[in-house]
């Protein structure tokens, strides 16, 4: 087993530990590494980064950081953040709107930030909050995609997405290839008009529900990708893995998809040069851009993904500079 396979579960467990959060967020040098992955804490910083990314020919998906709230007021606060963000994005969207093709600007939502985990009526509160955001996004000409969180939320998330799609048919969602159920979900959700972002999956999941280890997850990703590419929806290929990106380009060609009928997605701060190279090859590349104060969980998942990130972080902690 690779050392990173041993560290990953510990880091992902730490991502959900309030005690670890208090410790890690107090370390001054954490900030340097956080800045590589997060656009900043304010909306102005997010809009400035968005403008740069759009100017470079890439598309954008903006995420206001926050997750796992069990506080109704906090969930409402997240809705307000998104509504303000959307009124700023409305200024950018019409100029860059692409008719019926892919929309340049998207926002990403986590239903757990909108109240899905509230002990009473969580499902309904998240649905109602997401509906308000989708209404404003539609008016702003902005796409919405609902992120995937840990497997205990998948049924509720897909059910909320199904209900929302009745009013907002362009709503997209994320499927995680590491979950054993996902091949079947890909088959169910690859019909006309669907928008599915396929990622490997970033949470700590038990072997009963998820493939473990990179080779098994990669194989599952390729199987899911084939289903989506052969389907009738719009696949969004979210991966930094050259093997997954190459497979997506090859399958798009084999299934006769035009460049407007799928896109590649990568996270802000990861493989920037490759993102720009793909744009020069006329591929649509969307950058997932998180911003906000609640960066801890997102940051820890990025550390868990790549030992080099963790090594950099640990070196920063021990460095005197
Ligand atoms: C747009 C987007 C949205 C996402 N949304 C979700 C979501 O809603 N839910 C969820 O659970 N997960 C989400 N994820 C995270 C995802 O599940 C993975 O955890 C993450 O993308 C890492 O997997 P990978 O496919 O990049 O491949 P990995 O197996 O992590 O990496 C494979 C290879 O990619 C290359 N690579 C990876 N990182 C780097 C780097 N920093 N620099 C250079 N090369 C690198 C290397 O060659 C590496 O060997 C999202 C990812 C993206 C890109």
pLDDT in tens, 58-97: 999 999 998 888 899 999 999 999 999 999 999 887 555 4
Select from 3.40.980.10, 3.20.20.220, 3.20.20.80, 3.10.110.10 the CATH code of 39-94+101-294.
3.20.20.220
Active site residue 165: no
Task: For ligand 1, atom 43, name the residue with the nearest CA.
Answer: 271
pLDDT confidence of residue 320? 42
Mean pLDDT of 204-227: 97
Active site residue 22: no
Task: Give residue 200 CA to ligand 1 midpoint distance, Å.
Answer: 7
Task: Give residue 14 CA to ligand 1 midpoint distance, Å.
Answer: 19
pLDDT confidence of residue 31? 72
Does ligand 1 have an atom closer than 6 angstroms to the CB of 265?
yes
pLDDT confidence of residue 13? 80
Pairwise CA distance, residues 36 & 250, whole Å: 31
Count the alpha carbons within 13 Å of 194 in the hemisphere toward its beta carbon: 25
**Which is the catalytic residue, given 103, 165, 197, 286?**
197
The answer to whether 134 and 82 are in contact (CB under 8 A) is no
Pairwise CA distance, residues 123 & 115, whole Å: 7
pLDDT digit string, tens, across residues 253-268: 999 999 999 999 999 9
User: Residue 6 corresponds to which tokens in the numbers above?
Assistant: 């041993």
- Domain coordinates in residue numbering, the chain: 39-94+101-294
Strands 263-267 and 234-238: parallel
**Of the residues 110, 237, 240, which should be mutated to test ligand 1's pocket, given the most ligand atoms within 8 Å of the CB?**
240
pLDDT confidence of residue 251? 98
**What pTM was estimated for this model as a whole?**
0.92
Mean pLDDT of 16-42: 78
pLDDT band at 275 (very low <50, low <70, confident <90, very high): very high
Provide the total of helices (H) and of strands (E) in the chain, helices listed first.
13, 8
Task: For ligand 1, atom 30, name the residue with the nearest CA.
Answer: 305
**Relative to the CA of 217, which ligand 1 atom is closest?**
29
Nearest to 166 by CA among 193, 196, 136, 133: 193
- The answer on pLDDT for 5 being more than 70 is no
pLDDT confidence of residue 34? 80
pLDDT band at 127 (very low <50, low <70, confident <90, very high): very high
Ranges 83-92, 94-103, 274-283: which has the least confidence: 94-103
Torsions phi, psi of 251, nearest 5?
-70, -35
Does ligand 1 have an atom closer than 6 angstroms to the CB of 153?
no
- The answer on pLDDT for 316 being more than 90 is no
């Amino acid at each position: 087993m690779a050392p990173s396979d041993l560290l990953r579960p510990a880091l992902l467990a730490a991502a959900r530990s309030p005690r670890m959060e208090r410790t890690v967020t107090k370390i001054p040098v954490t900030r340097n590494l956080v800045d590589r992955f997060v656009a900043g804490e304010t909306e102005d910083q997010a809009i400035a980064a968005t403008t740069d990314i759009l100017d470079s020919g890439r598309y954008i998906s903006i995420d206001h950081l926050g997750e796992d709230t069990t506080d109704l007021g906090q969930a409402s606060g997240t809705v307000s953040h998104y509504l303000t963000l959307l009124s700023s994005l409305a200024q950018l969207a019409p100029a860059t709107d692409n008719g019926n093709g892919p929309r340049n600007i998207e926002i990403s939502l986590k239903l757990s930030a909108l109240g899905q985990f509230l002990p009473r009526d969580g499902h309904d509160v998240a649905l109602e909050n997401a509906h308000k955001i989708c209404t404003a996004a539609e008016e702003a000409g902005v796409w919405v995609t609902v992120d995937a969180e840990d497997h205990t939320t998948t049924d509720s998330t897909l059910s909320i997405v199904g209900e929302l799609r009745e009013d907002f048919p362009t709503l997209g969602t994320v499927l995680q290839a590491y979950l054993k159920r996902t091949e079947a979900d890909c088959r169910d959700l690859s019909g006309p008009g669907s928008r599915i972002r396929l990622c490997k999956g970033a949470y700590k999941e038990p072997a009963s529900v998820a493939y473990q280890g990179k080779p098994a997850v990669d194989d599952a990703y390729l199987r899911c990708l084939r289903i989506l590419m052969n389907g009738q929806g719009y696949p969004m290929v979210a991966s930094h893995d050259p093997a997954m990106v190459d497979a997506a380009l090859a399958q798009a060609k084999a299934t006769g998809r035009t460049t407007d009928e799928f896109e590649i997605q990568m996270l802000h701060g990861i493989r920037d040069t490759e993102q720009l190279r793909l744009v020069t090859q006329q591929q649509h590349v969307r950058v997932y851009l998180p911003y906000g104060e609640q960066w801890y969980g997102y940051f820890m998942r990025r550390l868990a993904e790549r030992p080099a990130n963790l090594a950099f972080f640990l070196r920063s902690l021990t460095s005197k500079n």
